[in-house]
């Protein structure tokens, strides 16, 4: 039954779920107006990318269905968030808005401005932690500084009070008597149409809270046991693939943590190395948000200022070959094609393709970061920026720039039977394992029998690995002492 009293506006953002949603639970027992605002002004250059827009459409659809099952609407508005919230409060008589905090620099600036404006007008804006195990201002070094090395950060996180138990879906939310005007989701045109390149995304993903819980359960039911070792092998289903669900808040880190620890308790310690390794990756996500909050320039500028002067050699043709998966290095091309087809790439392969771009090809890390931002369904400002700075050797706790991944050796080590390469680079599928990882070394008769013509069917290598490595180290030397 609807309630004529003014509602509390619950502003959904990167928390598109009903369970363990502190902003929603804090309104339990009250009239609630759930709202999502597509604010394309505040993010500036970091507006949501193409693959993530696809995910957002389906996640909002799932959220609206979950709310509707409880008699609640989801009001969609498009425009600057402060303006739209003010309009909704005027239209409904609401004097309170709840939201769960976001930590991107533009979001913290925008949200602080909204809070200050509302306070001046006698309106209440309450924010909650629905996205992290620990707020990024709570964990500091002994000197009171933000952590810039992961291992001590992880130890501090483990030593902190354990996360609160996840909250259930609130049962006492009441719908408003009148629902204000709202946008139709289709009018936002989040889905690609001409062309519709999202077929692989539809085949691969189930956005929404139910999809997130199912993926978490499937992972904990099997792959987590071997996660410590199998997570490095892209040809097997050895990872959780929860990143997009976590980014959009369809599942919370507290829910992930609690489910993993419960499994650990049930198993009495059996297989805990896999669980510990998995939770360490949740810790890495926390570390990235800690860095983004305390060093808000990292999406655009290197954390290590020495790298401001690094002599990159930007080249559109080279970048395009990498983006299209036409570099001539099978493991690199497999990763880039998996990304384009599914909106996701295996983490080990992300490191390989990233190292290849910034070191062998000497392209700026920001170019790779921008491509991932547009093509990943799990595009996340904190993780993306920190990942690329780690690869480029210019970020916190980064792999040294002089450590150059050899894609052939990586391929032989982590895809020894070529399952991953054969799936994503099918034109090489007929090559024997001995030649699959570096087809340019295969004898002519082997290539002929496999139907491979280098330079047409499959490209020749875009760069010589030894020469590319030497060029990268020479570029590093221009900065002075290697870091």
pLDDT tens track for 337-387: 999 999 999 999 999 999 999 999 999 999 999 999 999 999 999 999 999
What are the backbone angles phi and psi of residue 75, rounded to the nearest 5°? -90, 125
The Cα 48–Cα 190 span in angstroms is 10
The Cα 345–Cα 371 span in angstroms is 12
Answer whether residue 104 is part of any domain: yes
pTM over 0.85: yes
Same domain, 409 and 333: yes
CATH of the domain at 432: 1.10.579.10
Same domain, 127 and 138: no
Q: Are 463 and 360 in contact (CB under 8 A)?
A: yes
Q: Which pLDDT does position 483 carry in this prediction?
A: 42
CATH of the domain at 277: 1.25.40.80
The Cα 223–Cα 230 span in angstroms is 8
- Distances in Å between the Cα of 464 and the Cα atoms of 359, 408, 433, 471 are 12, 12, 21, 10
Burial class from Cβ neighbours inside 10 Å (0-12, 13-18, 19+) for residue 388 reads buried
Q: Which pLDDT does position 397 carry in this prediction?
A: 81
Structurally, the chain folds into a number of domains equal to 3
Same domain, 343 and 454: yes
Q: Which pLDDT does position 271 carry in this prediction?
A: 47
Q: Which pLDDT does position 159 carry in this prediction?
A: 95
Same domain, 19 and 99: yes
The Cα 49–Cα 343 span in angstroms is 11
Tokens of 111: 């949200």
pLDDT digits (tens, 9 = 90+) for 175-204: 999 999 999 999 999 999 889 999 999 999
The Cα 425–Cα 338 span in angstroms is 9
Q: Which pLDDT does position 4 carry in this prediction?
A: 73
Q: Are 330 and 429 in contact (CB under 8 A)?
A: no
Answer whether residue 247 is part of any domain: yes
Same domain, 126 and 143: no
In this prediction, the residues of the chain whose per-residue pLDDT falls under 70 are 1-3, 269-272, 481-483
Catalytic residues: 281, 284, 312, 347, 365, 388
Residue 401 is classified by DSSP as T
- Which residues form the domain of 142? 132-165+210-294
Answer whether residue 267 is part of any domain: yes
Q: Are 458 and 428 in contact (CB under 8 A)?
A: yes
Question: What's the per-residue H, E or C state across 60-99?
Answer: HHHHHHHHHCCCCCCEEEECCHHHHHHHHHHHHCCCEEEE
DSSP H helical ranges for 169-267? 199-204, 209-220, 227-230, 243-247, 253-266
Same domain, 467 and 333: yes
């Amino acid at each position: 039954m609807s309630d004529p009293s003014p509602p509390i506006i619950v502003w959904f953002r990167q928390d598109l779920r009903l369970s363990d949603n502190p902003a929603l639970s804090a309104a339990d027992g009250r009239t609630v107006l759930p709202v999502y605002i597509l604010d394309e002004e505040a993010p500036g250059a970091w507006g949501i990318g193409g693959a993530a827009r696809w995910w957002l459409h389906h996640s909002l659809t799932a959220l609206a269905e979950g709310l509707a099952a409880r008699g609640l609407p989801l009001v969609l508005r498009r425009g600057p968030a402060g303006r739209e919230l003010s309009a909704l409060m005027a239209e409904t008589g609401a004097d309170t808005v709840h939201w769960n905090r976001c930590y991107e620099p533009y979001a913290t600036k925008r949200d602080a401005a909204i809070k200050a404006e509302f306070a001046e007008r006698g309106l209440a804006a309450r924010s909650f932690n629905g996205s992290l195990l620990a707020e990024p201002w709570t964990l500091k070094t002994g000197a009171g500084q933000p952590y810039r090395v992961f291992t001590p950060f992880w130890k501090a996180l483990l030593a902190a009070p354990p996360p609160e138990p996840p909250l259930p879906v609130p049962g006492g939310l009441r719908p408003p008597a009148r629902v204000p005007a709202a946008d139709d989701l289709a009018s936002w045109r989040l889905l690609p149409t001409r062309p519709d390149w999202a077929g692989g995304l539809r085949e691969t993903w189930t956005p929404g809270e139910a999809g997130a819980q199912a993926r978490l359960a499937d992972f904990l039911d099997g792959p987590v046991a071997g996660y410590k070792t199998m997570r490095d092998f892209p040809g097997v289903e050895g990872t959780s693939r929860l990143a997009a669900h976590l980014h959009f808040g369809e599942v919370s880190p507290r829910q992930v943590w609690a489910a993993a620890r419960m499994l650990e308790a049930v198993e009495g310690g059996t297989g805990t190395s896999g669980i510990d390794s998995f939770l360490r990756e949740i810790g890495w996500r926390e570390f990235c948000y800690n860095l983004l909050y305390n060093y808000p320039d990292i999406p655009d500028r290197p954390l290590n200022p020495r790298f401001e002067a690094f002599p990159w050699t930007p080249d559109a043709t080279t970048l395009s070959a990498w983006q299209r998966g036409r570099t001539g290095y099978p493991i690199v091309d497999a990763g880039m094609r998996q990304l384009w087809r599914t909106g996701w790439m295996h983490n080990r392969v992300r490191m390989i393709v990233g190292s290849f771009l910034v070191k062998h090809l000497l392209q700026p890390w920001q170019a790779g970061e921008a491509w991932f931002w547009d093509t990943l369904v799990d595009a996340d400002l904190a993780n993306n920026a920190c990942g690329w700075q780690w690869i480029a050797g210019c970020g916190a706790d980064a792999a040294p720039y002089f450590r150059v991944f050899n894609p052939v050796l990586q391929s032989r080590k982590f895809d020894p039977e070529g399952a991953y390469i054969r799936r994503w680079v099918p034109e090489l599928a007929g090559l024997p394992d001995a030649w699959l990882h570096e087809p340019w070394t295969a004898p002519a008769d082997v290539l002929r029998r496999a139907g491979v013509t280098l330079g047409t069917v499959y490209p020749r290598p875009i760069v010589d690995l030894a020469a590319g490595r030497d060029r990268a180290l020479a570029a590093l030397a221009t900065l002075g002492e290697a870091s």
